[in-house]
Chains A and B, each alone.
Chain A
Amino acid sequence: MNSAGTFAPIAARPAPLSTHGVSGWIRRNLFPSAGSSLATLTIIAAVVYYLPGFIDWAIVNAVVRPDNATCRALDDAGACWGVIAEKYRLILFGRYPFAEQWRPLAATILMLAMVVASCTRPLWSRWLMLAWVVVFVAFFILMRGGVFGLSAVETDRWGGLPLTLLLSTIGIAAAFPIAILVALGRRSHLPALRTICIVYVELIRGVPLISVLFMASFMFPLFMPQGLTINVLVRVLVGITLFAAAYLAEVVRGGLQAIPNGQHEAAASLGLSYWQTQRKIVLPQALRLVVPSIMNSFISTFKDTSLVTIVSLYELTGSVALALSGDANWRPFFLEAYLFIAAIYWIFCFAMSRYSLWVERHLNVGHRRD
């Protein structure tokens, strides 16, 4: 009621309902246009056509018991999940001595627990770094043995899931700080430093990971002085780290470029030094912007570790081949075995991508207006 001179604000009302039940939802989301309707129908047809066959193979006709004769009698009509029950210890722990396999199991659980702890925000503190050092030491003692009455197991016997986890966690953890330094170096005002960083990134990006691993494994020892050898696992770790760091550096650089110059100027005018500016102002904002791409790189690195098979380190993928190649009876059921490790990879990668979404949501304070 606005009469002359007075202003009466209209009270806020709730927004009108935007959904109209199930049929409305279906129409809006599945059949909004001719093209979308066609796509929906195609997908439904594909599912109707292929799904029953897959269910027959994977569930109805499948053999779950590790019974080789029954499996062979299936003649591809059903899956032989028995191969997993038969071979899971070889797949999960590779050539690690059978009687000692509680050690890689304990090491794996320890490592996974530490990864989960690191992802938990209340635990983010300086102590986490120390805890990681302790966990890595414990991991090596458990795996390597030779102390505390544990029998010694050389690194070439390590394999399966613990090796995959070791390669990817150390690869990722070491690549990240290197990537940040290289990204900063590429933006440096010092020409020599900038050139070194550019050459490093372009050189590594220009070759496949396999060739880096080959060089680390076979060529590098040729250049070492006589009598000095560095463990192949260490060499491969360095290779993976340098490879991952080059890609990650470009991701970080993308984030750095998105920070407006005014932030640098404000920091400079307040007297902050170069490193203070990077640490307190630029990196916290830049890294936040590229969380999805960073996680993309991490997931790539995790899966890339499967390539170390070619230099005779039998991580998860390699140990499947190892488990089947030595046993003619079970060799035909490689598909089931690979589906098994595919599921393991998928669980890890899916967890990583979900975590990435969580990080994005919880770190973007200050960029939202609420």
Chain B
Amino acid sequence: MPEPIITFDKVNKWYDQFHVLRDIDLAVGYGERIVICGPSGSGKSTLIRCINRLEEHQQGRLAVDGVELSDDVKVIETVRRKVGIVFQQFNLFPHLTVLENLTLAPMWVTAVPQKDAEERAMAQLTRVRIAEQARKYPMQLSGGQQQRVAIARALCLTPKIMLFDEPTSALDPEMIKEVLDVICELADQGMTMICVTHEMGFAKSVADRVIFMDLGQIVEQNSPDQFFSHPQNERTRDFLSKILTH
């Protein structure tokens, strides 16, 4: 296994009294592509949101690219520059054009001059095949287009790791493919990525490893082949039977 870029070491988290992450141990290698699945409320989203500190863990150690996460604002800033995230609800800024959505962070966080930021943004928009929509506002785009803009926005900060939190769950069925295609291309280009999704076809074709979570724990992890053909745990089999029957 290659050297890890993300390391979870006995990570625990609670929402008030609810124990949402329980003794998470996980090492993600450089360039590794991981799909996390599991029933709702199993802690999948919380787990990936801990990686860029949108959620904080209360016990254990979590290191990203050699930086151990803590309350220190500088540490959080450092980690967030290495990690891009794409949300289920896109979370584009509705008052800014597509192009402004993409140039905002480079210009204000990393002080890139406007012209360079715009060139970089157009390159990323071309990469997600939506360059012609640069001057529009997010609300004028379809869900699939918005999600591709959100991916381009995260890529503009040249992250080392991309997190996807159910990127296709809020999309109409006919738009899922255009978003997954873009994510697949990223995967082919060697980006380290963790994707929470129920798109099992996507998991089979893209993932190096599939992780199944339930009740805040990592129940089982394996290569996609083994995971789908020979699930070890009873809970995994139960889950797969529910989502693969149709």
Contacts and interface: CB of A to CB of B under 8 A. Distances in A.
A368 to B, nearest CB: 7
A284 B108 contact: no
A270 B105 contact: yes
Contact of B94 (A268, A271, A366, A370): A366
Contact of B137 (A260, A263, A284, A365): A365
Interface in B64-113: 77, 80-81, 83-85, 87, 89, 91-96, 104-105, 108-110
B139 A367 contact: yes
Most chain B beta carbons < 10 A, residue from A260, A265, A285, A367: A265
A265 B80 contact: no
Contacts of A141: none
Contacts of A281: 93
A366 B101 CA distance: 12
A370 B91 contact: no
Contacts of B83: 269
Contacts of A367: 94-95, 139
B38 interface: no
Contacts, number: 67
Interface string B122-140: 0000000000000001111
Chain A interface helix/strand/loop/mixed: helix
Interface residues of A, number: 23
Interface of A: 260, 262-263, 265-272, 276, 280-281, 284-285, 288, 365-370
Given A262-B89, A266-B91, A268-B54, 5 more contacts: A270-B157, A271-B157, A272-B108, A280-B108, A366-B96
Pairs of residues from A and B, 9 with the lowest C-beta to C-beta distance, nearest first: A266-B91, A270-B105, A262-B91, A366-B137, A271-B109, A271-B80, A366-B94, A269-B85, A366-B95
23 contacts: A263-B91, A265-B54, A265-B87, A265-B91, A266-B91, A266-B92, A266-B93, A267-B93, A269-B154, A270-B80, A270-B109, A270-B154, A271-B109, A271-B110, A284-B95, A285-B95, A288-B95, A365-B95, A366-B94, A366-B96, A366-B137, A367-B95, A368-B139
